[in-house]
Structure 1
Amino acid sequence: MDLVNWQAVLQDDFQVPDHTPLDKLTTELTELLGATDPEVRDGLAYPTLATWIERGVYDDLLPGLGDGMVAGLKVGLGEREDDGVFRRSFSALILTECIARDTARPLVLGGKVLQWGDALATWLLRERDRRGFVPDKGWAHALAHGADGLGALARSPHLGAAELTVLLDVIADLLLQPTDVLFAHGEEDRLALATLAVLRRNAVPMTVLEPWVNRLSDGARLGPDDGTDPFLRSGNAQAYLRALYLQLALGNRPPAARADVMLVLVGALRETNRTLREG
Structure 2
Amino acid sequence: MSEAYWQSVMQSGMDVPADRGLDECTVELVEMLGHPNPRTREDLAYPLLTTWITRGVYDQLLSGLGDGIAPGLRYGLGHDGDVSVMRRSYSALMLAEIIGRDNNEHLMSSESVLDWGDRATAWYVREQDQRGWVPEMGWANAIAHGADLLAALARSRHFGRLELTVLLDVIADRVLTPTSYIWRHGEDDRLAYAVMTLLHRNELDPVIVEPWLARLGQGIKPPQTRGHLEAEWPSPGVRNASSFLRALHLQLALGVQGRDDLRADAELFAEQPAHRADLILAVLDQIRAEQPWLYRPTTRARPLG
Q: Distance in 2 between matches of 1:188 and 1:86?
A: 20
Say whether the 8 Å CA contact 1:3–1:25 is kept in structure 2.
Answer: no
Query: 5 Å matches for 1:32-51?
Result: 32-51=32-51
Deviation track 1:169-223 (CA, whole Å, cap 9, x = no partner) reads 0000011111111211111100000001000000101110110101101001122
Identity of aligned residues (%): 49
What is the aligned partner in structure 2 of residue 167 from structure 1? 167
Q: Distance in 1 between matches of 2:224 and 2:65?
A: 49
- Greater gyration radius: 2
What is the aligned partner in structure 1 of residue 181 from structure 2? 181
Q: Distance in 2 between matches of 1:251 and 1:163?
A: 24
Aligned mate of 1:237, from 235, 241, 244: 241
Q: Distance in 1 between matches of 2:290 and 2:184?
A: 20
What is the aligned partner in structure 2 of residue 219 from structure 1? 219
Say whether the 8 Å CA contact 2:10–2:44 is kept in structure 1.
Answer: yes
What is the aligned partner in structure 2 of residue 106 from structure 1? 106
The CA deviation at 1:4 is 7.8
How many residue pairs match? The answer is: 278
The CA deviation at 1:275 is 5.7
Q: Aligned to 1:73, what secondary structure does the other structure show?
A: helix
Deviation track 1:60-115 (CA, whole Å, cap 9, x = no partner) reads 11111101111111111110101011011001100111111111111111021011
Say whether the 8 Å CA contact 1:199–1:257 is kept in structure 2.
Answer: no
The one-letter code sitting in structure 2 at the alignment partner of 1:201 is R
Contiguous gaps of at least 5 residues in structure 2: 257-268, 297-305
Q: Aligned to 1:13, what secondary structure does the other structure show?
A: coil
Deviation track 1:134-163 (CA, whole Å, cap 9, x = no partner) reads 011100000100000000000000000111
The CA deviation at 1:277 is 6.8
Aligned mate of 1:269, from 280, 287, 292: 287
Query: 5 Å matches for 1:177-216?
Result: 177-216=177-216
Q: C-alpha root-mean-square deviation of aligned residues, in Å?
A: 1.6
Runs of 4+ in 1 over 3 A off after TM superposition: 1-4, 275-278
Q: Distance in 2 between matches of 1:55 and 1:257?
A: 38
The one-letter code sitting in structure 1 at the alignment partner of 2:143 is L
Q: Aligned to 1:107, what secondary structure does the other structure show?
A: coil
TM-score, normalised with respect to structure 2: 0.88
Q: Aligned to 1:238, what secondary structure does the other structure show?
A: helix
More helix by share: 1
What is the aligned partner in structure 2 of residue 259 from structure 1? 277
What is the aligned partner in structure 1 of residue 145 from structure 2? 145
